[in-house]
């Protein structure tokens, strides 16, 4: 049983129960089996009990209390939005949190750590999760067939390993706190190596030129495969023409309604 | 004694209206627009006259701009019901290539729907036509009677309507006059969805949420259903999870963003919504009281 996603209260109760079982003479393994905790957790609870009594058994809350994280002030947030609605001056395909922090610092517009910017992106609903493509090749489903028939041949044609592709998409981003559509924004996003997020925002749906700028920035890195979700490029002759002129750039559209369960991302 | 539920009462009322029309008129027809109300109306008609197929044909006044999924569904349902399907397209509209983009929604609706319906009624000599309109859809529909009389020129006079006390319907009419009959008048959108759910009535998949290519036009999400949809320079349709609360000509029908991909989800969404389904119809935004004007001129 995996107790990883249990609430802190439940884990504390189970740790107390594990200690009681140990006191009743059960082994660590048996206590772990009965409480659904792992053996190291039971051992840790037992050790805490021996050193500090019952009070030491429940887990203590970790990290900063909710709501006390460093918040970016409004001026800084406005400046971030201004940056996000323009392409980076470098040839990056979008803004990473590191690049945003650097740009703000270079312009003397304020200091914010990449981590603080990541948190801010999450609060603005600008941090989509990457698609889970790892085990698709083995899946017997519509998505698995798509991966085997479209993604794998494209990667092989470009001579790339399965990990050397980029993925991305376009979406409407509405912050969870927004009452209406007033703060609705359109977001182009990419996930690069190890799921690193690159993003660019718009106040209206992106046009062909916006997509082509993105593709050109990616294409400048060499042969490229981009798995993309959220746009209907078949209806756009400009993009089709550009793709014809760039055979080293493979644009692979995610089929509509594909169930590519998003992988969870860290902080 | 068994007490009928709310939906059973509505069902019984609608079936009674349909049987009354078949008994009292000579050449009735059922207008079939392929939407959810038409699906319920067709289901009720099949129930009303089972085990025989309903003793009237289906008439689809086509504009050539319906969603592709609607055409597929229409043909399948007519075949399943064992009913004749009459499809009428205004030949003048075809000749002049009337379409919502070049000519605008008002002219398109007038030529392809209003005039098309009048032509079909005259062509086949129908004296009664069932329609799936409901009173909760729109203001002018709210004041229309279940049996709505039309002059020989198919005009409706909202100030000259017959009383329908105790659900007694006066079906007498002058020669060449016709009646539009609305068996679903007293149903609400929620009733329709609950009935579809309980009776497992098939509906066009467009009512369920799915990722579809859409563009934004004046705040409405318009689905790019085929290559005839003109795009703005450089425009790229976005794939968004949308569904339709109402179905008409695809360039004139706005989708709503929704996650409801099952009937219970749709019903739940219905319970929370505070807008009319026809807010998604561009043709209803033409001008104030535009629906009443269209109806006076013969629009369904």
Give the Cα separation of A163 and B150 in Å (integer): 69
Give the Cα separation of B99 and B109 in Å (integer): 9
Six-digit token string for A201: 């925002």
Q: Are B237 and B228 in contact (CB under 8 A)?
A: no
Longest CA–CA separation in chain B, Å = 67
Reported as a single tens digit per residue, the pLDDT across A123-140 is 889 999 888 887 888 888
What residue ranges of chain B have pLDDT lower than 50? none
Cβ B239–A205 below 8 Å, yes or no?
no
Residue A266: pLDDT band (50, 70, 90) is very low
Average pLDDT (A203-220) is: 94
For chain A, say whether B238 makes contact (Cβ under 8 Å): yes
Cβ B234–A208 below 8 Å, yes or no?
yes
CA angle A157, A162, A163 (to 5 degrees): 130
Helix (H, G, I), strand (E, B) or coil at A184: coil
What pLDDT score was predicted for residue A19?
93
Q: Which CATH number fits domain B6-190+289-296: 3.40.50.620, 3.90.1150.10, 3.40.50.920, 1.10.10.10?
A: 3.40.50.620
Reported as a single tens digit per residue, the pLDDT across A25-70 is 899 999 999 999 999 999 999 999 988 889 899 988 777 766 666 6
* Chain A residue with the nearest C-alpha to that of B235: A207
Average pLDDT (A74-92) is: 91
Mutate to test the interface with A, among B69, B206, B233, B236 (most CBs of A within 10 A): B236
What pLDDT score was predicted for residue B63?
93
Give the Cα separation of B145 and B96 in Å (integer): 35
Give the Cα separation of B240 and A171 in Å (integer): 8
Contacts of B257 in chain A (CB under 8 A): 172
Give the Cα separation of A267 and B216 in Å (integer): 34
What pLDDT score was predicted for residue A88?
93
Residue A2: pLDDT band (50, 70, 90) is low
Give domain limits for chain B: 6-190+289-296, 204-285
Report whether pLDDT(A161) > 90: no
Average pLDDT (A15-29) is: 92
Q: Tell me the whole-structure pTM to 2 decimals.
A: 0.80
Cβ A235–B238 below 8 Å, yes or no?
no
Helix (H, G, I), strand (E, B) or coil at B7: helix
Report whether pLDDT(A247) > 50: yes
What pLDDT score was predicted for residue A192?
87
For chain A, say whether B134 makes contact (Cβ under 8 Å): no
Q: Are B26 and B124 in contact (CB under 8 A)?
A: no
Reported as a single tens digit per residue, the pLDDT across A109-121 is 778 889 889 989 9
Q: Which of B211, B236, B257 shows the shortest C-beta gap to A236?
A: B236
A-facing residues of B in 211-230 (CB < 8 A) are 211-213, 215-216, 224, 227, 229
What pLDDT score was predicted for residue A163?
47
Report whether pLDDT(A157) > 70: yes
For chain B, say whether A232 makes contact (Cβ under 8 Å): yes
Cβ A256–B212 below 8 Å, yes or no?
yes
DSSP string spanning B222-248? EE--STTSPPPTTB--EEEEEE-SS-S
What pLDDT score was predicted for residue B279?
62
For chain B, say whether A238 makes contact (Cβ under 8 Å): yes
Give the Cα separation of B158 and B170 in Å (integer): 16
What pLDDT score was predicted for residue A264?
42
Q: Which of A172, A207, A229 shows the shortest C-beta gap to B236?
A: A207
- B217 - beta bridge partners? B220
What pLDDT score was predicted for residue B152?
86
Query: How near does any CA of chain B get to the CA of A7, in Å?
Result: 28
Residue A267: pLDDT band (50, 70, 90) is very low
């Amino acid at each position: 049983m995996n107790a990883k996603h249990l609430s802190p209260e439940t884990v504390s109760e189970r740790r107390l129960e594990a200690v009681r079982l140990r006191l009743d003479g059960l082994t660590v393994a048996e206590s772990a089996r009965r409480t659904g905790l792992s053996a190291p957790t039971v051992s840790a609870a037992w050790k805490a009990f021996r050193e500090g009594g019952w009070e030491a058994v429940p887990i203590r809350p970790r990290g900063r209390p909710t709501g006390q994280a460093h918040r970016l002030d409004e001026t800084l947030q406005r400046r971030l939005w201004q940056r996000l609605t323009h392409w980076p001056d470098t040839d990056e395909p979008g803004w990473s949190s590191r690049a945003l922090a650097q740009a703000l610092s270079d312009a003397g517009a304020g200091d914010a750590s990449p981590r603080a910017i990541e948190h801010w992106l999450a609060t603005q609903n600008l941090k989509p999760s990457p698609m889970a493509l790892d085990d698709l090749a083995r899946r017997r489903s519509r998505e698995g067939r798509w991966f085997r028939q479209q993604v794998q041949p494209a990667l092989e044609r470009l001579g790339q390993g399965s990990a050397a592709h980029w993925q991305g998409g376009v979406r409407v981003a509405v912050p969870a706190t927004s009452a209406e559509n007033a703060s609705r924004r359109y977001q182009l996003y990419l996930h690069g190596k190890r799921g690193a997020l690159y993003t660019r925002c718009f106040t209206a749906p992106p046009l062909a030129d916006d997509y082509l700028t993105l593709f050109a920035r990616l294409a400048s890195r060499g042969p490229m495969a981009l798995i993309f979700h959220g746009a209907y490029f078949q209806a756009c002759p400009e993009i089709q023409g550009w793709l014809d002129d760039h055979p080293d750039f493979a644009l692979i559209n995610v089929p509509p309604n594909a169930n590519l369960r998003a992988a969870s991302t860290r902080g | 004694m068994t007490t009928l539920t709310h939906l059973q009462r509505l069902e019984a009322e609608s079936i009674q209206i349909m049987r009354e029309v078949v008994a009292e008129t000579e050449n009735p027809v059922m207008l079939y627009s392929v939407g959810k109300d038409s699906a319920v109306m067709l289901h009720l008609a099949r129930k009303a006259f089972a085990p025989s197929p309903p003793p009237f044909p289906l008439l689809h006044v086509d504009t050539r701009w319906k969603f592709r999924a609607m055409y597929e569904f229409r043909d399948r349902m007519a075949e399943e019901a064992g009913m004749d399907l009459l499809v009428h397209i205004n030949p003048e509209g075809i000749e002049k290539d009337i379409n919502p983009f070049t000519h605008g929604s008002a002219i398109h609706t007038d030529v392809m729907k209003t005039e098309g319906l009048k032509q079909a009624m005259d062509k086949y000599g129908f004296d009664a036509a069932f329609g799936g309109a409901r009173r909760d859809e729109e203001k002018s529909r709210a004041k229309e009677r279940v049996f709505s009389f039309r002059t020989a020129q198919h005009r409706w006079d909202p100030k000259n309507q017959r009383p329908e006390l105790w659900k007694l319907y006066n079906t007498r009419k002058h020669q060449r006059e016709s009646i539009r009959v609305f068996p679903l008048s007293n149903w609400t959108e929620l009733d329709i969805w609950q009935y579809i759910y309980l009776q497992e009535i098939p509906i066009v998949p467009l009512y369920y949420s799915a990722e579809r290519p859409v563009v934004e036009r004046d705040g409405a999400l318009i689905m790019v259903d085929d290559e005839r949809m003109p795009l703005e320079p450089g425009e790229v349709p976005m794939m968004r999870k949308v569904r339709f609360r109402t179905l008409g000509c695809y360039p004139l029908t706005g989708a709503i963003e929704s996650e409801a991909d099952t009937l219970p989800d749709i019903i739940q969404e219905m319970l929370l919504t505070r807008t009319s389904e026809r807010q998604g119809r561009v043709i209803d935004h033409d001008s104030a009281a535009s629906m009443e004007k269209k109806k006076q001129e013969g629009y369904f």
